Amino acid sequence: MLSHFHRFFWDGNEQLIWINSGGKQAYIPNKNLKFDLLLNTMSNQTIEYLPILIQFLVALGFVATTMVATHYLGPRRKSKIKLDVFECGIEAQGNARIPFSIKYFLVAILFVLFDVEVIFMYPWAVNFKELGVQGLLEMLFFMALLLIGFFYIMKKGALKWE
């Protein structure tokens, strides 16, 4: 963040004093009255967040400009075949919006659960020696908790496909 290294002070008269990381002072002459009025009304605390606001505006402006520009720059051709469903060049058959079995959803959610468990094991494996026995016990406890859950869903029959 800019405020960690640079400070802006308003000396109340004509100049904005800018102290950079080296402790050197620089004077920004008063040229733009509107900007000065804006700074005058803001406290020092608020001014420190000004770069963030500017960055936010730039980000927003970039997205808006790009989206509008592509609509004007890119050529467009809307034929029936172009707007058709893409099915690897073969004519689409039937409707894609058909009911799917809820089991897909269940299996997917369970996959995410155990996937996250494995992701947690990576940093533990990297720092295995540093974490020592305590780390091992904590990891075993964590895995045991999830294993209990795993046996629970098995008993509930969530993994039975038929």
Partner 1 sequence: MKEILKSSEGTTVVQSPPGYEGPGFFATSLDKAVGLARKNSIWPLPFATSCCGIEFMATMASTYDFARFGAERLSFSPRQADLLMVMGTIAKKMGPVLRQVYEQMAEPRWVLSVGACASSGGIFDSYSVLQGIDHIIPVDVYVPGCPPRPEQILDGILNIQKLIHSESLRRRNSPEYKALLSSYGME
The binding track of 5-44 with respect to partner 1, each residue x by CB under 8 A or -, is ----------------------------------------
* Contact (Cβ atoms closer than 8 angstroms) between residue 48 and residue 38: no
45 belongs to the binding site for partner 1 (CB under 8 A): no
What single letter denotes the amino acid at residue 32?
A: N
Compare residues 72 and 100 and give the one whose CB is closer to partner 1.
72
In this structure, are residues 43 and 37 in contact, taking their beta carbons and an 8 Å threshold? no
Contact range with partner 1 by CB under 8 A, out of 11-19, 23-31, 75-83, 133-141: 75-83
Residue 138 interacts with partner 1 (CB under 8 A)?
Answer: no
Q: What is the rounded CA–CA span in Å between residue 39 and residue 29?
A: 13
User: Rounded distance, CA 52 to CA 139, Å?
Assistant: 40
Q: Does 99 bind partner 1 (CB under 8 A)?
A: no
**Is residue 73 involved in binding partner 1 (CB under 8 A)?**
yes
Find the shortest distance in angstroms from Cβ 86 to partner 1: 5
Q: Does 90 bind partner 1 (CB under 8 A)?
A: yes
Cβ-based nearer residue to partner 1, 77 or 160: 77
Q: Quick check: 96 binds partner 1 (CB under 8 A)?
A: no
Q: Where are the alpha helices (DSSP H) in 21-127?
A: 33-41, 44-47, 50-73, 80-83, 102-126
SS3 at position 126: helix
Q: Is residue 80 within the footprint of partner 1 (CB under 8 A)?
A: yes
Closest among 30, 33, 32, 38 to 11, alpha carbons compared: 30
